Structure 1
Amino acid sequence: MSTQRAESKKYAYFEEHSSAEVVNARMGNDTNQRLREVMTSLVNHLHQAIKEVEPTHEEWRQGIQFLTDVGHMCTDWRQEFILLSDILGVSMLVDSINNRRPTGATENTILGPFYVPDAPRYSNGTNICLDGKGEPLVVSGRVVNTSGEPIPGATIDVWQSNDDGFYDVQQKGVQPDWNLRGVFTTDEDGKYWYRSAKPHSYPIPDDGPVGKLLGALGRHPNRAAHVHYIVTAPGYSPIVTHIFTPDCPYLDEDAVFGVKDSLIANFQKVDDERSADSLEFSCPFWSLNWDFVLASQR
């Protein structure tokens, strides 16, 4: 008799103390090995949690109803299950596991739902703030490898919300298309720079079951102010990350746990009329110098 068949016989009938083993023993001989590994772990942890919490029938029904409501909230443009994953820190954990890098390389964080491919390509120095809102910001820096050597020709795809806390795709017909989005290329010294507006905090969608859960947990839906980046170069692992302002009140309580200490930047306020005039800014304005460090592709 095979080991698996023996296990199935051993755990043929349900017992509270061996509930997970009974369920896992029902998997067939031809079950995909990775699926078997995932489901065994999931069943083990789920049954352990149930035994630890000991929910009533009514509490279990409420849990099922919550997941049903999450499913009903999903549409072609809104994924409430991803939002649930985000506010439980699971999205960040999966991202961290899949993007482990050597010390010194820029850390990853989640992509977020508002990325749009094929943004306009601009020459360095272009102002991507098309609605004129917010405090002016100039961003400059380099893209280098872990040895500190410049990477010419690296691509920097940037996007952010406007001063009202909305992305252009959330306000079609209100914001200009491609507002606060653009793609830049580093020069022969690995340098890049562009003009924009200081990012603003904003709430994630909280009008559904995930928002109700946040409220029940005494948590707010706000994301810390940030700028999104995707940085790529041939031969290097791509970076999907945020850069955060150090003065945001939600920095240490970001709703989706996207903040990492290494990604908090130094935004400096500049009160210099001559510099402002050269950038076609009002005075004062903000300046950010940030280097991206890429690790060689494994």
Structure 2
Amino acid sequence: MSTHTAPKAAARGPLTRLRVLGGGRLRQTCLVLLVLFVLVALLAPWLTPHDPAFGRLGDTLLGPGADHWLGTDQGGRDTFSALIAGTRTSLAGPLAVVVFSTVLGTAVGLFTAWRGGWIDALTARVLDIVFAFPALLLAILAVALFGKGMTAPVIAMAIAYMPYTARLVRGLAVQEKARPYIAAYRVQGHSALFVTVRRMLPTLAPTLLAQSTVNFGYALLDLAALSFLGLGVQPPAPDWGAMINQGQAAVLQGRPLSAIAPAVAVVLVVVAFNVVGESLGDRLAGRDS
């Protein structure tokens, strides 16, 4: 598992160059893939042919077949059912991280950009301190303090991801604040809350969406790594990271699908979110038609 711990800005990179070579086809494929994963997560209880949390000892490490399409793991659980059910768990955690970090980072960025002065300088120093701690490290510290599970790591990672959004919003808001229409609203006596939320925020929303899309992929990777280490979602609850961890024993016994299937799912979702996020960033920067 990768232990990448910091989201990247929605800027040009290897994934962008790959997207350019493939034209809009790769972007459309990634969008379809993301929609498919979301639908699977929403419909998971009705799509699983077997109970994903419980298995039979007599079905341990079975190969692919008509009854078990991807075989079974060392606990006799159906790998295909666990993969489908794990989609909901594996996407819900990153969604919570992105939502909380985006809301908090946007609020901090808008407030500091509007007030300026010593408040802006002090907030920038605090964000630098938080920025210095990798998200995965904070998540492990949260587990050490509050126990295994997803609640504490999600909160810790949301705090770790917040400076990226706050810095982005603050920089854009400072530029937007200097525009004439903002001065016009201030002259008319509109409150700071009205100007920043009702007028400034909608202008920043597309860029925020692009950055949040990229952040989602990295949050998924971090949380999957946490579950892989045995500190996130706990068995028998299905989760892609935990499935990869549990599937290591099956790989040694010649049944690699229980580890390969969730690993492929993680890679596909992370790549898809990065391609879509970079594509949005390019469109906003005028680098794509």
TM-score range, shorter chain: under 0.3
TM-score by length of 2: 0.28
TM-score by length of 1: 0.27
Q: Higher helix proportion, which one?
A: 2
Q: Higher strand proportion, which one?
A: 1
